[in-house]
Chains A and B, each alone.
Chain A
Amino acid sequence: MRTMTPKLRIWWGVITVLVLVYALFPVFSIIATSFKLPSQLNLGTFLPKTWTWSNYEQILTGSAKDLFLPALRNSIGISLIATAVAVVLATLAAYAIARLDFPGKRLILTTALGVSIFPVVSIVTPLFNLWRNIGLYDTWLGLIIPYLSLTLPISIWTLAAFFRQIPWELEQAAQVDGATPWQAFRKAIVPLAAPGVFTTALIAFFIAWNDFVYGISLTSTSAARPVPAALAFFTGASQFEEPTGAISAAAVIVTIPVVILVLLFQRQIVSGLTQGAVKG
């Protein structure tokens, strides 16, 4: 890289600050709102005048506890199961696509592509009716099944791209060296494939965690309603109070773990997102 002149250095400083403000400002904005006293919400300032934990107390131990905590449990459980099922199915499919030559390979990839651009709302109406008839409405399973339409296609694409890059000859080489097929697979292939599977699981989990349309359409109580849908049903501590603070606090709680995951595994996520999408 060329050495930087002072002028160039300043330019890069300005650009970096601009990008940071762009990326982080709305996040700081909702964090700031979550620490405001309900009585001070209307002051029109960015930072709270008096910092308070009362919004967090309200959703974790107080009056909104029964709205938020079950939703958090539902979101975690449903997203994890939908991710696990999708990743297992996608791993098998992607292995076949990357390693075997069989008719219909393209058909499977095209189907995955088609499913990933499917408008979610088009699926909701028939599922809503069917789920009510067969008792899946407002249950975990009733959300896990449609979540597969979100998580499975991207998992197949991402994993197929990852698996193509694995030098599969290593497996044969290990067998020539005297390893059993299972040992060869476990010692040579699994360590190479694991990062791809993990990244795919992460991306699939984010997609399930982000869902709102299914969550709000196919649930009606705290039995299965996930966090994004629950946020839309929050009410204030009293009927005269806006739920602004409580919603912001809940939003911050569900955002922070995901942001930490993104930051920890950013390199993998970037390669996973782009590998499935652009020839690389």
Chain B
Amino acid sequence: MTADVATQAPEHAPKTARSDRARSEARLGWWLAGPAFVVMLAVTIYPILQALYDSLFNYRLTAPDDKAFIGLNNYKVVLTDSLFWQSLWVTTLIMVVSVVVELVLGFALALVMHRAITSLRGLLRTAILVPYGIITVVSAFAWFYAFDINSGFINHWFDWVPGIDPNLNWFAHQGTSLFVIIASEIWKTTPFISLLLLAGLSQVPTELEEAAEVDGATWGQRLRRVVLPNMKAAIMVAVLFRALDAFRIFDNVFIMTNGANNTNVLSLLAYNTSINRLEIGLGSAISVILFLCVILICFIAIKLFKVDLASARGEG
């Protein structure tokens, strides 16, 4: 409110003075924010344009002199390769499963923290933040060693569960590998989603919830009719950010299977093509496709769920 009054006041000042002031304020604004802006563009726009350019060439670092313009041929190679579609499917699967589980688990954790008495809330929040502070690669090793057929203990602990016995090699099959990969991903990133949801929960007006309780609404009804609609923005932001993050998954897969047994994901495919096989042209094409996928996910989220990212992030 005060800001509105402050910006309205100069409207009545003489026009030239105002535009002078506005101009110098704009200049100062860009002097201060410009460097950060330029750096952000330089570290993202330039590389993606370079990737776009390189993707049009047959370009391998093992034979740099044979670089030749081949148009969209790299894209044709990628899009007709079954490995690409397999990776896209696995990436999407990991994204959908981890986001759904994290949303449910994160919401449960947020509710627990929201309802807990003050002394307990501190303890719970402290515990929840531990996975957030752990390096993803460390989380990947922790889960890998726990399930590994040689150094693991999970097989011995859970041998009463049908299908699990000391000889089960979790990382020799697609389904079981993906299970551990997703588990590590969920463990590490649920704290973030649950903190976002907790912030959303605390914005639900307590009067509304109390009024519903007085009117005899059950817990489930209050959750569905009062709490969830009021924190839609927080949920959407959490889902979109986690979905985009999960779509870029790399660390867990690299450490646990390195793409073996049909667990390859898009990021790993791009990495192996350009950094390991030095096929810059082909790798660039995958990079561009990955980038377009992220844009597509954003577009779908914004159109379909009407997420206004800017307003949800406090930019009303």
Contact = CB atoms under 8 A, between A and B. Distances in A.
Interface of A: 1, 4, 12, 15-16, 19-20, 22-24, 26-27, 29-30, 33, 36, 41-42, 44-46, 89-90, 92-93, 95-97, 100-115, 117-130, 132, 145-146, 148-149, 152-153, 156-157, 161, 164, 206, 209-210, 212-213, 216-217, 227-228, 231-232, 242, 244, 247-248, 251, 254-255, 258-259, 261-263, 266, 269-270, 273-280
Given A15-B112, A126-B51, A44 B196 contact: no
Given A16-B120, A102-B25, A278-B200, A123 B126 contact: no
Given A44-B155, A248-B145, 14 more contacts: A44-B152, A93-B37, A97-B33, A105-B29, A109-B310, A119-B291, A124-B275, A127-B47, A128-B280, A130-B50, A232-B137, A276-B313, A279-B313, A279-B316
Contact of A19 (B40, B124, B255): B124
Contacts of A152: 36, 39-40, 43
B271 A213 contact: yes
B192 interface: yes
B129 A270 contact: yes
B150 A115 contact: no
List of 7 A-B pairs having minimum Cβ-Cβ separation, nearest first: A102-B29, A262-B133, A126-B50, A96-B32, A274-B199, A93-B36, A93-B33
A278 B40 contact: no
- A30, A148, A161 pick with most chain B CB within 10 angstroms: A30
Number of chain B interface residues as a range = 35 or more
Contact of A266 (B28, B126, B251): B126
B183 to A, nearest CB: 9
24 contacts: A15-B112, A24-B130, A41-B150, A100-B26, A104-B26, A110-B310, A118-B48, A122-B288, A123-B43, A123-B287, A124-B275, A125-B274, A129-B280, A149-B40, A156-B36, A212-B135, A212-B250, A213-B271, A274-B196, A274-B199, A276-B314, A279-B311, A279-B313, A280-B203
B196 A210 contact: no
B305 to A, nearest CB: 16
Contacts of B146: 26, 29
B269 to A, nearest CB: 9
B47 A30 contact: no
Given A33-B145, A45-B153, A92-B32, A126 B41 contact: no
Contact of A228 (B124, B131, B251, B271): B251
A244 B40 contact: no
- B145, B184, B195 pick with most chain A CB within 10 angstroms: B145
Contacts of B109: 19
B128 interface: yes
Contact of B117 (A1, A42, A161, A269): A1
A149 B41 CA distance: 9
B112 A161 contact: no
A278 B233 contact: yes
B315 interface: yes
A263 B274 contact: no
B258 to A, nearest CB: 9
Contacts of B199: 274, 277-278, 280
Given A30-B145, A118-B44, A89 B156 contact: no
Given A15-B112, A92-B35, A209-B135, A129 B313 contact: no
B70 interface: no
B88 interface: no
A108 B37 contact: yes
A147 B309 CA distance: 24
Given A97-B33, A112-B40, A103 B284 contact: no
B104 interface: no
Contacts of A126: 46-48, 50-51, 54, 284, 287
A270 to B, nearest CB: 6
Nearest to A97: B33
Contacts of B97: none
Contacts of B151: 33, 36, 41-42, 242, 244
